[in-house]
Amino acid sequence: MEEKQRKQILQSLPPLLLEWYDRNKRDLPWRKDTDPYRVWISEIMLQQTRVEAAREHYIRFLRELPTVQALADCPEDKLLKLWEGLGYYSRARNLQKAAAIVAKNGFPHTAAELKKLPGIGEYTAGAIASICFEESAPAVDGNVVRVLSRVLSDGRSQDTLKKVLAEELSASYPPARRGDYTQSLMELGATVCLPSSPLCLTCPLLCVCEAKSDAFPLRKEKPKRRIFYKTLFVFCDKTRIALYRREEGVLRGTYAFFSIGREMDKGQAEAFLRLAGLKNFSLGSPLRHTHVFSHLEWHMTAYTVYSEEDAAKLTLPVGESADAPFSALFYAERSAAKREFSLPSAYRWALPPSDGDKD
Ligand code: SF4
C-alpha cells in the first residue's frame, strides 16, 4: 500500500474508534481516573497477564500500596506476595526501583523521560504519556500491531511493525482525547479484533479495514522452550511445612519447595530420601504439573513428605543436583505458608491443604 493511502487510513481512525470506545469500553478499575501511578501499575500488571487475572491484583495492590512512596518503602517479601499469581516477578522489582526514583524526583510527564525509568519501555511510556498527560505518544503492543496490520494489510514482522506504526500513529493522533484514542486501539484489539476469528461484522473499522480477516499479522515460528524435569519434596511435620527463598534465577525472591533436577517415581523418591539421611517418613502419592514460562517448561512431580525429622539437616547424595541445598530450608506454619509467603503458581499447586482449608 502506498504511503499516502496508509496515512489517509490512519487519519480516518480516531473518530471511528473514539465513538465506538465511548459506547463499548469495559468498566475496568484502572479506568476510573488518569492518575499516573495507577495507570503505571495497571500497564505493568497487564503485560503478559489477562485482564481478569489483573483486576483483583490491581485492587489489592493499590489498597496496600496507595502511593509511589508506599511502593518505594515496601519490604520485598510483601511486594512479591502482592504480586503472587501474576508471574514475571522482575516486573515487580523494577516497579519498586522506579518508584524510588519517582518518589524522589516526581513523575516524568513525557514518554521520553518515562522511558528512562527501570521497567518502562516504549509501550508503557506511550500508554502513560498519552493517557495521563495527553501526549501524542502511541502505545503499540501486540494487540495494536494485530489491529493495524489487518487494517493496512501489512505483512511485515512484528518488530518492524512496532517501530513503523509507532511513528505513523504518532503523526495521526487526534488533537484531543489522545489518551482515550490509545485506549480505544487497545480495547478494539482485546475485544473485537481477536487473534483468531475477529468479530469484523461488529467492528467500527470494517469500512476502512483492508484484510477484514485474521490473515495478518503473518505468523512467525516461536523459538522452542527449554524443558526441565524436577521432583519436588514438600516436607511437612504435624503443623509446619519446609520452604526456601529462591536467591537467583527465574522467580528470584519468591519461596519454593525443595527440588531435585530429575524425575523420580515413588520408589526412587523414597530411596533418595533415605540416602539423604531421612529415617522415619511417609510419602504422599505423586502429583504432576507442568509450568510454562515464556522460554522454559518445568515438568514436575511432587511428593509430600510427612516426617518429624528436620529436612534442613539432610545431605544431598553425590551425583544429584538440587535448586538449593537442604540447609536453605526453614519451617513455616502450614496455614501461614499460603498467607504470608510469596509462593508462585509454579509451586503453589503442590501445597498440601492445611487444616481448615476449604480449597
Ligand atoms: S474489520 Fe476485522 S480484521 Fe479489520 S480491524 Fe476490524 S475486527 Fe480487525
The CATH number of 3-202, from 1.10.340.30, 3.30.9.10, 3.40.50.720, 2.40.160.20, is 1.10.340.30
C-alpha separations of 94 from 45, 76, 89 in Å: 12, 11, 9
The pLDDT, as a whole number, for residue 355 is 53
Say how many Å lie between the CA of residue 205 and the centre of ligand 1. Answer: 6
The pLDDT, as a whole number, for residue 278 is 97
From the alpha carbon of 214, which atom of ligand 1 is closest? 3
* Residue from 265, 33, 199 nearest 131 by CA: 33
- The DSSP secondary structure of 23-43, one letter per residue, reads HH----GGGS---HHHHHHHH
Q: Which of 199, 212, 214 to mutate to test the pocket of ligand 1 (most atoms within 8 A of CB)?
A: 212
**Ordered per-residue pLDDT tens for the chain, 359 residues:** 888 999 999 999 999 999 999 999 999 999 998 999 999 999 999 987 889 889 999 999 999 999 999 999 999 999 999 999 898 899 999 999 999 999 999 999 999 999 999 999 999 999 999 999 999 999 999 999 999 999 999 999 988 999 999 999 999 999 999 999 999 999 999 999 999 999 999 999 999 999 999 999 988 777 889 999 999 999 999 999 999 999 988 888 999 999 999 999 999 999 999 999 999 999 999 999 999 988 899 999 999 999 999 999 999 999 999 999 999 999 999 888 888 899 999 999 999 876 544 33
Q: At what angle do helices 90-105 and 76-83 cross, to 10 degrees?
A: 120
The pLDDT, as a whole number, for residue 85 is 87
**Residue 210 cell numbers, joined:** 483492508
* Cα separation, 156 vs 218, whole angstroms: 7
CB–CB of 231/301 below 8 Å? yes
Instruction: Give the count of alpha carbons within 13 A of 229, CB side only.
Output: 4
> Which residues are CB-contacts of 242 (< 8 A; sequence separation ≥ 6)?
234, 235, 236, 257, 258, 311, 312, 329, 330, 331
From the alpha carbon of 210, which atom of ligand 1 is closest? 4
The pLDDT, as a whole number, for residue 286 is 96
Q: Which part of the chain is CATH 3.90.79.10? A: 226-348
Q: Is the CB of 16 under 6 A from ligand 1?
A: no
For atom 3 of ligand 1, which residue has the closest CA? 212
Q: Which part of the chain is CATH 1.10.340.30? A: 3-202
The pLDDT, as a whole number, for residue 354 is 63
The pLDDT, as a whole number, for residue 350 is 95
For atom 4 of ligand 1, which residue has the closest CA? 212
* Cα separation, 127 vs 111, whole angstroms: 8
Say how many Å lie between the CA of residue 50 and the centre of ligand 1. Answer: 21
Q: Which of 2, 43, 221, 270 is catalytic?
A: 43
* Cα separation, 161 vs 147, whole angstroms: 11
* Cα separation, 279 vs 289, whole angstroms: 28
**Residue 165 cell numbers, joined:** 506504526
Is residue 64 annotated as a catalytic residue, yes or no? no
Q: Is the peptide bond before 223 cis (omega within 30 degrees of 0)?
A: no
Helix/strand/coil for 163: helix
* Cα separation, 336 vs 82, whole angstroms: 15
Say how many Å lie between the CA of residue 178 and the centre of ligand 1. Answer: 21
The CATH class for the domain spanning 226-348 reads: alpha beta
Say how many Å lie between the CA of residue 158 and the centre of ligand 1. Answer: 17
For atom 2 of ligand 1, which residue has the closest CA? 200
Helix/strand/coil for 232: strand
Strand residue runs (E) in 62-211: none
Q: Is the CB of 115 under 6 A from ligand 1?
A: no
